Structure 1
Amino acid sequence: MGYRRTAEEIAAIRTTLSGVEFVGGESLSVDFLTHPGTVRAILPAELEPGDEPRLTAQVSRWRSNCVGDFAASAVYVSAQDEGVTGDYVLTMFMNSDMPLLFGRDLYGEPKKLGSSTIHRNDGHMTGVLARHGHELIRIEADLGEDRGPREVLGRNYNVKYDLAPDGSGLIGSPTLMRAEFAQHTTVLRTGPASLTLGGTVHDPLHELEILEQRDAVYVETGMRASCEVVGAMDAAEFFPLALGRSDYWPALVSARLPTHS
Structure 2
Amino acid sequence: MARIRYGARTAAEITAARTASSRLPEIWSTGVVAVWESDPDAVAAVLPPPLEPTGRPLVRATISKVELPGYPLGAGSVAVAAAHRGIEGWYPLVMPMTHERALTGGREVFGEPKKLGEVTVDRDGPVVRAALARHGIAFVEVRGAVSGPLPVPELARKTDFYFKFLPAVDGSGLDLDPVLVHCLRHEKVRRLERITGDVVLRESMYDPVADLPVHTLVELTLGEKTSDQQGRVVERVSAESLLPYIHQRYDDPQQLLDGPPEGSA
Assess same fold via TM > 0.5: yes
- Which position in structure 1 is the counterpart of 2:224? 220
* Counterpart for residue 144 of structure 1: 147
Q: 1:50 to 1:157 in 2, by over 3 A?
A: same
Instruction: Provide the secondary structure at the position in 2 that maps to 1:9.
Output: helix
How many residue pairs match? The answer is 251
**Counterparts of 1:8-87 in structure 2 under 5 Å?**
8-20=12-24, 23-64=27-68, 68-87=71-90
SS in 2 for 1:50: coil
Residue range with higher mean Cα deviation, 18-27 or 218-227: 18-27
Alignment check: 8 A CA contact 2:42 2:211 kept: no
Structure 2: runs of 5+ lacking an equivalent: 257-265
The aligned counterpart of 1:116 is 119
Paired residue secondary structure (1:38): helix
Q: Which residue is 2:261 aligned to?
A: none
**Matches of 1:194 and 1:133 in 2, distance apart?**
21
**1:229–1:16 Cα change, 3 Å:** farther
Give % identity. 28
One-letter amino acid of the structure 1 residue matched with residue 149 of structure 2: D
Matching residue of 2:165:
161
Give the SS at the match of 2:149: coil
SS in 2 for 1:100: helix
After TM superposition, the score normalised by the length of structure 2 is 0.87
What TM-score comes out, normalization by structure 1 length?
Answer: 0.89
Distance 2:156 2:25 in 1: 15
1:28 Cα shift? 0.1
Matching residue of 1:255 = none
1:86 positional shift: 0.9
Using the TM superposition, give the Cα deviation of residue 250 of structure 1 relative to its aligned residue in structure 2, in angstroms. 4.8
| Structure 2 Cα separation of the partners of residues 21 and 175 of structure 1 | 29
| Long gaps (5+) in structure 1 | 253-261
**1:245 corresponding residue in structure 2:** 249
Paired residue secondary structure (1:165): coil
Q: Is the 8 A contact 2:82 2:89 kept in 1?
A: yes
Task: Tell me the SS of whatever aligns to 1:164.
Answer: coil
Structure 1 residue 127, shift from structure 2 partner: 0.3
Query: Is the 2:94–2:113 Cα contact (8 Å) retained in structure 1?
Result: yes
- The 3 A distance-change label for structure 1 pair 32 and 148 is closer
Equivalent runs, 1:129-208 vs 2, <5 Å: 129-150=132-153, 151-208=155-212
Paired letter, 1:8: A
